Amino acid sequence: MASRQREISVSEFFAKNRHLLGFDNPRKAMLTTVKEAVDNALDACEEANILPDLHVEVLQLGETRFRITIRDNGPGIVRKQIENIFGKLLYGSKFHRLKMSRGQQGIGISAAGMYGLMTTGQPVVIVTKTSKRKPSHEVVLKMDTSKNRADVVSETEKASADELFPNGSGTQVSIELEGRYLKGRQSIGEYLEQTAIANPHASITYLSPGNERSDFPRGVQELPPEPSEIKPHPKGIELGTLIQMLERTSSTQLGAFFKNEFCRVGPNVAKEICRRAELTDRTWIKQVEHQDAEKLYEAIQQVKIMSPPTNCLVPIGSKALLAGLLKEVEAEFFTASCRPPTVYRGNPFQIEVGIAYGGSLPGDELARVLRFANRVPLLYQQSACCSFKAAMEASWKNYGLTQSRSSLPSGPLVIMIHMASVWVPFTSESKEAIADYDEIRKEMKLALQECGRKLGTYLRRRMRMKRESQRRDVFARYIGEISRSCEAITGTEAGLVYDALLRRAESKTAEADNVLDDEGRVVDDGGALARDGDVVIRDVSGPMDPDEDLFGNSDASPPKKKNAARALKKRAVSKPRKSGK
């Protein structure tokens, strides 16, 4: 029996358990392949300070066979790194750093190539170009799952491929696989649409198997700021991790160890930790035993340490979030909320929420929840996600919406929830749902409640305006007849009576003419709406103007107040003529 035992390669394990990586079925496998490639392309472009231009093509070769091609305008890939990136699982630059990024584990794109090799036997084709002065390289490789490494099938310089990269650099990846293509929810089209919402700085072109072209143009012309890498926070490590760090550190004394290996630990904090552990900051690391490490760990939990820095996070931001929603969602009311950064298990994170209401959204369905983690859409395992649970727990009835127990609100509503963190706690390796931590759910609920209060104020004000408009319409039906009757009874000129009654109706129902700002207050020229990026109210009575700005105004002009009095005169009974006496 001992002779049969051997080491299991990580690629062999995931080849037999590919459902853990998101390759459960043919349809989901196609989406996961596109997702991993697009995430890598966006990360590469942003790190190189390049506005992303992505091209996604899905070509149908047979009934169940497809070729997926993703091309970007990023910095390209150095030749010696191609085999490791595309042919080796658990290889990457993002796992060990505490910095916000889409990828985390170094599995995704190589797992997609492994799935294509297993289902079709075809290798991955990579074309990359690193500068205008160098020709493009085409590398064809297969993964050896028994050794978790790549075998290069062919490698050629391909000058003819330079036209794929007009800016002088970029990468194109082609994977042939078995799949199933369907439109609608949880499809490639929906994923790219949501990616465009969370990444308004990216331009994406999608060519479907039916040769249908979809363009998601760039909504903003600025790249998000580059996040900074931080060191681990003492509150976020466990005892075993602390022991390993003590064994591997290059520092010789405890004081230097805490200062060099952790963030937010200064000399005074390091001395306090050592004092509580009955040690000193000058204690030699090699003299620290297991029981001393346990005392240090307990002391860390007792000492008050400042929260980790948040410059490692780059949230979408209210303006960019609203720009993405305005670009892809046909609604009339938009609002966003960005919570201040906070911490779970020593890891900083930040929650952002945006909602869109009304317009052409279906009013007889449950609200739609768009979930994002580090700008990446999450399309599967919705009920297991902390974002979905927080959306259900929010008391939407308080804000004028209909909601059954333990369900989402019903009405024309889209809810977008984004979590930005240096380490998103996914429920599985496939990165489809956020784990349910109390700190995370609390922040999500607070952001949802903030947006809900603004929506509730807007809906209540709009309802009052609607009632006043209905009152005016009823009054307008009879003032013509009343003015003529008054003339017949009292002899007063009918035209004067009509004008007086009309002015009275306008003053009593003046609320129907109001324009609302972001807090539901009455404004005449745009008010806070023209200055604040947290709320947008768009007039959806007509088609959208392609030249509209973020606030739905053409040429950034303030919204005009509707002249309801003029419309009232048209709807009312014709004004009686003055009698000629």
Q: Where are the domains of the chain?
A: 10-216, 234-302, 318-455, 456-535+558-571
SS3 148: coil
The per-residue pLDDT for 571 is 42
Residue environment code for 63-82, b if the CB has 16+ CB neighbours within 10 A, otherwise e: eeebbbbbbbbbbbbeeeeb
Q: What is the pLDDT along the chain (581 residues), one digit of tens a residue?
A: 566 666 677 777 777 777 777 788 889 899 999 998 999 899 899 989 999 999 999 999 999 999 999 999 999 999 888 888 888 776 665 555 677 888 666 577 888 888 898 899 999 999 999 988 888 989 999 988 888 888 899 999 888 888 899 989 999 999 999 999 988 888 999 999 999 988 989 999 999 998 899 999 988 888 888 888 888 888 888 899 899 999 999 999 999 999 999 988 999 999 999 999 999 999 999 999 999 999 999 999 999 988 888 888 888 888 888 888 888 888 888 999 999 888 888 788 999 999 999 888 998 899 999 999 998 999 888 999 999 999 999 989 998 899 988 899 999 999 999 999 988 999 887 788 999 999 999 999 999 999 999 898 888 887 777 777 777 777 777 788 888 888 888 888 888 888 888 787 777 666 555 555 444 455 544 444 445 557 777 665 544 444 443 333 444 344 343 444 444 444 444 444 444 43
CA 221-225-228 angle, 5° bins: 165
User: What's phi and psi for 565, nearest 5 deg?
Assistant: -65, -40
What is the distance between the alpha carbons of residues 182 and 190, in angstroms, rounded to a whole number?
A: 11
CATH number of 318-455: 3.30.230.10
CATH number assigned to the domain with residue range 234-302, chosen from the 4 options 3.40.50.2300, 2.40.50.140, 1.10.8.50, 3.40.50.300: 1.10.8.50
Q: Which CATH superfamily is domain 10-216 in?
A: Histidine kinase-like ATPase, C-terminal domain (3.30.565.10)
The per-residue pLDDT for 508 is 67
What is the distance between the alpha carbons of residues 523 and 532, in angstroms, rounded to a whole number?
A: 14
The per-residue pLDDT for 213 is 93
One DSSP character per residue, 245-295 reads HHHH-S-SBHHHHHHHHSSS--HHHHHHHHHHTT--TT-BGGG--HHHHHH
Q: What is the pTM of this model?
A: 0.73
SS3 211: coil
The per-residue pLDDT for 79 is 87
Structure tokens at 307: 């929260």
The per-residue pLDDT for 539 is 62
Burial class (CB in 10 A: 0-12, 13-18, 19+), 33: buried
Smallest Cα–Cα separation from 217: which of 199, 233, 234, 238?
Answer: 199
H-state helical runs in 362-430? 386-393
What is the distance between the alpha carbons of residues 337 and 447, in angstroms, rounded to a whole number?
A: 6
User: What's phi and psi for 182, nearest 5 deg?
Assistant: -140, 150
